[in-house]
Amino acid sequence: MKLTKMLSATAALALALPLAAQQAAPRVQPGTPQTPPETAKQGPTALKILVLEGEGARNDIRSGTAVAPKVQVLDENGRPVADAEVVFRLPMEGPGGSFHGWVKTQTVRTNVEGIAAASGYMANDFEGRFNIRVTAKAGTQEASAVIAQANVRGAGASGRSHRRWWILAAVGAGAGAAIAAAASGNGSDGVAVTTPITITAGPVTVAGPR
């Protein structure tokens, strides 16, 4: 009787073990593709910077206008990267400019479209070419770019037209002084002598600033 009970218990245990194993880890048929476990979302594996505005700009020193740099940060698949840190760096000396009057470096975060633009940008008084260096960082990835610009004084030379006006004023003043001196001159006997004065003026052309 005891032997029969032991055999029954052993048989029941043998049947229960395969059932528990099937419930814990379902069998996979050969040839069935395996699905990798879901991993935590990570940042981009690569970055690239697309220059939207500012490349090749010629900033007018005389009028104080300048083209602010504007870029877009994209990932390895060409999708916009939001909240990336973008740094714009201007030259410390020579041709260049500043942000908000004196700052040479400005940090901006990209929006949902991956776009970042500098603000308060003005050119300085130095004429010539220069580069704005741009770096972008998101997660562990970084990218860099260079935006080439130049500072110019605009079309026309305002100094030349001003010089012309000063020359004409000096000639006019000299002629007036000569006329006054001649009109007030006296003869040797104390009698006022009136000497006819003839002024021959050539063609004078006065042009306004160009």
What is the identity of the amino acid at 129?
Answer: R
On whether residue 53 sits in a domain, the answer given is yes
- The token duo for 16 is 């229960």
Range of the domain at 120: 47-152
Domain count of the fold of the chain: 1
On whether residue 170 sits in a domain, the answer given is no
Alpha helices in 25-54 (DSSP H): none
What's the confidence (pLDDT) of residue 135?
Answer: 98
What's the confidence (pLDDT) of residue 77?
Answer: 94
Distance separating alpha carbons of residues 20 and 9, to the nearest angstrom: 16
Q: What is the full per-residue pLDDT of the chain (210 aa) written as tens digits?
A: 555 556 566 656 555 555 555 555 556 566 655 655 544 557 788 999 999 999 999 999 988 789 999 999 999 999 999 999 999 999 999 999 999 999 999 999 999 999 999 999 999 999 999 999 999 999 999 999 999 999 999 763 223 333 333 333 333 444 444 444 444 444 444 444 444 545 455 555 555 554
On whether residue 172 sits in a domain, the answer given is no
What's the confidence (pLDDT) of residue 141?
Answer: 96
Q: Which of 107, 117, 52, 43 is nearest to 79 (CA)?
A: 43
CATH of the domain at 128: 2.60.40.10
Q: Which of 84, 135, 137 is nearest to 114 (CA)?
A: 84
SS (H, E, C) 130-169: EEEEEEEEECCEEEEEEEEEEEECCCCCHHHHHHHHHHHH
Distance separating alpha carbons of residues 152 and 97, to the nearest angstrom: 12
On whether residue 159 sits in a domain, the answer given is no
Distance separating alpha carbons of residues 136 and 125, to the nearest angstrom: 29
The model's pTM: 0.56
What's the confidence (pLDDT) of residue 26?
Answer: 57
Q: Which of 68, 83, 78 is nearest to 48 (CA)?
A: 78
On whether residue 137 sits in a domain, the answer given is yes
On whether residue 11 sits in a domain, the answer given is no
- The token duo for 117 is 């633009």
What's the confidence (pLDDT) of residue 154?
Answer: 72
